[in-house]
Amino acid sequence: MLRLPDHWVWDSWYTTDDDGLHHVFFLRASRALLDPERRHRRASIGHAVSRDLRNWDLVADALVPSDAPAWDDLATWTGSVVRGEDGRWYLFYTGVRDEGGGYAAQRIGLAISDDLYTWHRHGTKPLVEPDPTWYELGDRTDWPGEAWRDPWVFRAPGGDGWHMVLTAHAKDGDPLHRGVIGHATSPDLLNWTAGPPLTRPDGFGHLEAPQVAVVDGQPLLLFCSNLGVRAPSDSVWVVPGPSLTGPWDLSLARPVPCPGLYAPRLVRDAEDRWHLIGFVSERDGAFAGELSDPIAVGYTAADGLRAH
């Protein structure tokens, strides 16, 4: 478990270095804010390391908001880390800017590191933005501002380029139905093109912190939601598909039983076994703001994604 006495911790993502050391990157904000709902506009990206996914040592923060004026000068939100073909590490993150009137513009940015500890932003502009051909701009369904956040980056099946899935809104339909998995592609991790979503709207107001992985031979889409007809409160969902790039049929989405957790990630341990780690959303009637211990999981067609 990772709990900070002076900061709330919530969304997280993971990678492992050449020495087998696990790295977690997570959103954090000061508990001095008192109201946990204020944390979203004060978020920065923390960093900790572990040998066993249970005992974590805090190290220096990975990334904080830029100095104003900048496209990411309000907060830095959820992302993912991959290693490029050049051996460097690439941190894709959500940058947020307050455009006034409570409107928070969400865009995707990139920071690069040689060692996972010191990060430098790549460029001064967003890396990839929503294409209005497919995605809603100026939407106020959940966060005031278009949904374009939580990038999960992975190498394409067969090694032909890179893919990004992310939280997005379709252009049309009931706001409580039109959450979709956005999609972008890149040949080199630096140049990205937004494409059509990999899902159709189906009862979710948003699909947050998406991740794709192959568990027990089955390609899966994992996401969480607390908005919409099918997910009016905190819940975690999994969808089987034909490949890591889908297409994903949300009518096949099944809840994952992990009460009290939100935005969990599928994480491999040293023995290559899959676990879920998420943030504890509530304890004793209050926001807990801490990361859980790993929960070993497996997948079957009959039972879905379940704890062992």
Q: pLDDT tens for the chain, 308 residues: list them.
A: 899 999 999 999 999 999 999 999 999 999 999 999 999 999 999 999 999 999 999 999 999 999 999 999 999 999 999 999 999 999 999 999 987 766 778 999 999 999 999 999 999 999 999 999 999 887 666 665 679 999 999 997 777 799 999 999 998 878 788 999 999 999 999 999 999 999 999 999 999 999 999 999 999 999 999 988 888 888 999 999 999 999 999 999 999 999 889 999 999 999 999 999 999 988 888 899 999 999 999 999 999 999 98
Q: State pTM to two decimals.
A: 0.95
Domains of the chain: which residue ranges? 7-307
**Per-residue 3-state assignment (H helix, E strand, C coil) for 177-203:** CEEEEEEEEECCCCCCEEECCCCCCCC
Please measure the distance between the N-terminal and C-terminal CA atoms of the chain and give it in whole angstroms.
Answer: 19
Architecture of domain 7-307: 5 Propeller (2.115)
CA–CA distance, 148 with 106 (Å, rounded to integer):
5
Q: How many CB atoms lie within 10 A of CB 124?
A: 10
